[in-house]
Chain A
Amino acid sequence: MGAIWVPLALTLKVALWATAINLVLGVAVAFGLSRWRSPAREVVDSILTLPLVLPPTVLGYYLLVLLGRRGVFGAWLDRLGIELVFTWQGAVIASTLVAFPLVQKAARAAFEAVDPQLESAARVLGLREAAVFFRVSLPLAARGITAGALLAFARALGEFGATLMIAGNLPGRTQTLSVAIYAAVQSGDDTTAGIMVAVTSVTCVIALLLAGWLAPDHLRRSRP
């Protein structure tokens, strides 16, 4: 069973970190984009959507070029003693990048659906912009953001290409479920592969069911 639990635990750890990072990063970028009045906005949005359409191997290649020991940031990180290639942290970065558009898109749509009059009302009642964000915009967008985050979590669970490129396939260290399935199939261990496929499928279904259950209750109640 260790053949399954070790990669499952690693996969959950990587996916949770990737989702947490995207909740901060994706929500911040989405809020900025939803309030930014500039013709460049859609260009930036398109660039940020690229991870959704580019092959994960291409993303993984970009990450290697940027973060590898001889890469632009890699050399700099190396001097600080930070190693990302062939580590689980590298897998987190790969999953974060691949899942980013799912959070960003959902959050932007949710922020744009917030009635600007409610935000004005909060300003008139004496709130600063940061307080307007945390007390009005964010809670009203929470439902959409939660849905996006759970999609991103499910996507991060299944990340394969970019993870393999940057984190490799080191059992116990960087071998996530989807990579372990590939390795098991390659070595003819169909039983292990089958169990892992079932575990991955069930975990993804649970994540998607949670998406419905976690949606803030009071927002549903407020619908007439």
Chain B
Amino acid sequence: MSVDIAIRKTLRSDDRHFELDVAIVSQQRRVVLFGPSGSGKSLTLRAVAGLLTPDTGHVLVDGRVLYDSAARIDLPTRMREVAYVYQDYALFPHLTVAQNIGFGLDRGWLNPRRRRHDERVRRWVDSFELGNVADSYPSRISGGQRQRVALARALVSGPRIVVLDEPFAALDPALRGRMRSELMALQARLDLQLMVITHDPADVEALDGHTFEIRDGRVVGTPDRPPLVG
């Protein structure tokens, strides 16, 4: 049970130049990347999911090679078994809650049917208390429900690692605390391998994982308690 990431990537756009050079090795089930926005946290997550190809380096999850520039291995995104929970959830606006959750179960050319729910979808709908909104569209449900849908969609096909991009940033402060404890309970119950990025010291404290502080594209430390500056 581990993540082993070492990647380098140089990004250039017009007059800007960004150097990403991070190395993250952890045996823990909860890995937290902490740092200000623009520090390269999201780029790192994108490289794990295969949405960004590093210049050099490697990405291993539980010993499985997802990317290795030396061995010329670069698994396509769809084969990585990485679940990605976006900051604003990226729920499909043209599909209902149940269709969103079941999206990855059938990988053919047709979306899940609107009225017939897969057994696995029903289980997640029930365990996340989404029964009332299963046939609603994402624009019609609350922020907390949206996050549960995004989590259920990510978990339904049994991924090896769940990466979460600022999972609580889009929630109002009152809801944030509740969703943090929901995520922690879920992680403990399913023994999920999590990798969370956040700029919020309160998240770092609540998640209580192996924390890497990232600044300007580099890991600058692994504080037990992060400095109280965002």
Interface size on A, residues (CB 8 A): 26
Encode contact with A along B117-140: 1 for CB under 8 Å, 0 otherwise: 000000000000000000001110
Q: Give, as a whole number of angstroms, the nearest-CB distance from B6 to chain A.
A: 22
Q: Give, as a whole number of angstroms, the nearest-CB distance from B39 to chain A.
A: 20
The answer to whether the Cβ of B82 comes within 8 Å of any Cβ in the partner chain is yes
The answer to whether the Cβ of B190 comes within 8 Å of any Cβ in the partner chain is no
Which of A123, A221, A223 is B77 in contact with, Cβ under 8 Å?
A123
Which of A120, A126, A223 is B139 in contact with, Cβ under 8 Å?
A223
Which chain B residue lies CB-closest to A139?
B94
Q: Chain A residues with Cβ under 8 A from B157's Cβ? A: 125-126
Among A53-61, A130-138, A146-154, the stretch that binds chain B is A130-138
The B interface, classified by DSSP as helix, strand, loop or mixed, is loop
The answer to whether B139 and A224 have CB atoms under 8 Å apart is yes
B66-82 contacts to A, CB under 8 A, are 77-80, 82
A170, B137: Cα distance in complex, Å: 53
Sort chain B's interface into a size bin. 20 to 34
A120, B82: Cα distance in complex, Å: 12
Which of A118, A127, A218, A223 is B78 in contact with, Cβ under 8 Å?
A127
- Given A134-B109, A135-B111, A218-B137, answer yes or no on A124-B77 (Cβ-Cβ < 8 Å): yes
The answer to whether the Cβ of A186 comes within 8 Å of any Cβ in the partner chain is no
A212, B161: Cα distance in complex, Å: 44
Q: Give, as a whole number of angstroms, the nearest-CB distance from B144 to chain A.
A: 17
Q: Chain B residues with Cβ under 8 A from A130's Cβ? A: 109
Among B85-93, B173-181, B196-204, B216-224, the stretch that binds chain A is B85-93
Q: Give, as a whole number of angstroms, the nearest-CB distance from A206 to chain B.
A: 27
Encode contact with B along A105-135: 1 for CB under 8 Å, 0 otherwise: 0000000000101101111111110110011
Which chain A residue lies CB-closest to B51?
A120
A130, B78: Cα distance in complex, Å: 12
- Given A222-B138, A222-B139, answer yes or no on A127-B90 (Cβ-Cβ < 8 Å): no
Among B15-23, B100-108, B206-214, the stretch that binds chain A is B100-108
The answer to whether B78 and A222 have CB atoms under 8 Å apart is no
The answer to whether A126 and B107 have CB atoms under 8 Å apart is yes
The answer to whether A117 and B90 have CB atoms under 8 Å apart is yes
Q: Which 8 A-B pairs have the closest CB atoms?
A: A125-B104, A222-B93, A121-B90, A123-B77, A124-B84, A134-B109, A126-B78, A117-B90
10 further A-B contacts with Cβ under 8 Å, apart from A120-B77, A126-B78, A136-B92, are A115-B90, A117-B88, A117-B90, A124-B77, A124-B83, A125-B78, A127-B104, A128-B107, A139-B111, A219-B94
Residues of chain A touching chain B, judged by Cβ–Cβ distance below 8 Å, are 115, 117-118, 120-128, 130-131, 134-136, 139-140, 216, 218-219, 221-224
